[in-house]
Structure 1
Amino acid sequence: MELIESYNSISESDLLIIEEKIGYQLPVEYKLFLLQHNGGRPVLDGVRYENEHFDFVGHFYAIRGEMYHDDLLRQIEEYKDMIPKGYLPIGESPGGDVFCISLKEPTEGALFHWDHEQANYDGEPWEYNMTKLSPSLTVFLEELCVGE
């Protein structure tokens, strides 16, 4: 998997600062991804679901400062009342949907797609608009393909 437009490398101590700010530990698999890439745009950006084209990955969030639109902390804060608790936003599609990692059992570590058009903006966030795409971030990244 190749990413372009990644940002400056980060360290373990940068991740500890992020975890302290958000109040929980990031999944190990995601921390490794951030340490290796720190966000960016995948060259193969197509997402498939049930063997059909589903969406595209526009970019993955990075740790780069909350003044930037694609900063992880900024996005966690912006989506905290829209995405159900127990999901960590990690990137988005060009159309504004969000890719999330589940932080809760029984789907912990699985990658989900949050559809902004189906979201409940009038009350508590629901899971009706969440689609499980992959059992893990690694599998999700391996399965990215040429967009259709």
Structure 2
Amino acid sequence: MNIDRLKINRGGNPIPIAGFSGDESAFLVVEKLIGFKLPDTYKQLLLKHDGGHPELDTFVLSPTNLFSINNFYSLENKKYETLGNAISRWGKVLGAGMLPIARDGGDNQFYLDLTQSTPSVWIYLHDENEARVKLANSLEEFIDELIEDPDDD
């Protein structure tokens, strides 16, 4: 998983500071909140970039099904919605073991299914009859398949 290739930024500007640099007990707080251990790959993403907008933001499921990330949730960076707030807003809707990690421009939720031995990535489309669509078999696969939005020309 190459996190650097995402070119995560804030408002179009590169992030000058590394990701989450607080006390790692913050991870334990989230784990207690959701009742599941956070995957190491997700921790790596937070440690590298604590929230932000990826330049490579689009996942192509098929030529007519493209899903774009507006921003990843942060652990403690108040410039973005925090993971704790996202869990509070979406936890009951998504269900036990589902961890919101990002949102699109319409507040649809990208989430990890932590009930699987290798957490898969899904999107919850609240604005499309609450459809749930599996996007990737792992966070690594999801990150590696993100591309620049073809409509951003």
Task: Give the TM-score category using the shorter length.
Answer: 0.7 to 0.9
> Normalized per residue, which structure has more strand?
2
The answer as to whether partners of 2:91 and 2:99 remain within 8 angstroms in 1 is no
Aligned mates of 1:40, 1:20 — CA distance in 2: 24
Aligned mates of 2:121, 2:73 — CA distance in 1: 14
Unmatched tracts of structure 2, length 5 or more = none
C-alpha spacing 1:62/1:8, structure 2 compared with 1 (3 Å): same
Q: How many Å apart are 1:52 and its aligned residue?
A: 4.4
1:23-59 superposed Cα distances (whole Å, 9 cap, x missing partner): 4321221111111111111011122103544121000
Question: Counterparts of 1:4-23 in structure 2 under 5 Å?
Answer: 4-5=9-10, 8-23=20-35
TM-score, normalised by the number of residues in structure 2: 0.78
- Give 4+ residue runs of structure 1 displaced > 4 Å after superposition: none
Identify the residue that residue 139 of structure 2 maps to in structure 1.
137
Identify the residue that residue 3 of structure 1 maps to in structure 2.
8
C-alpha spacing 1:139/1:10, structure 2 compared with 1 (3 Å): farther
Q: Which secondary structure does the structure 1 equivalent of 2:36 belong to?
A: coil
What value does the CA root-mean-square deviation take over the aligned residues? 2.2
The answer as to whether partners of 2:34 and 2:97 remain within 8 angstroms in 1 is no
C-alpha spacing 1:82/1:53, structure 2 compared with 1 (3 Å): same
Identify the residue that residue 77 of structure 1 maps to in structure 2.
88
Identity among equivalent pairs (%): 28
The answer as to whether partners of 1:9 and 1:36 remain within 8 angstroms in 2 is no
Unmatched tracts of structure 1, length 5 or more = 120-128
Aligned residues: 137
Which residue of the other structure, out of 102, 105, 124, is the alignment partner of 2:113?
102
TM-score, normalised by the number of residues in structure 1: 0.80
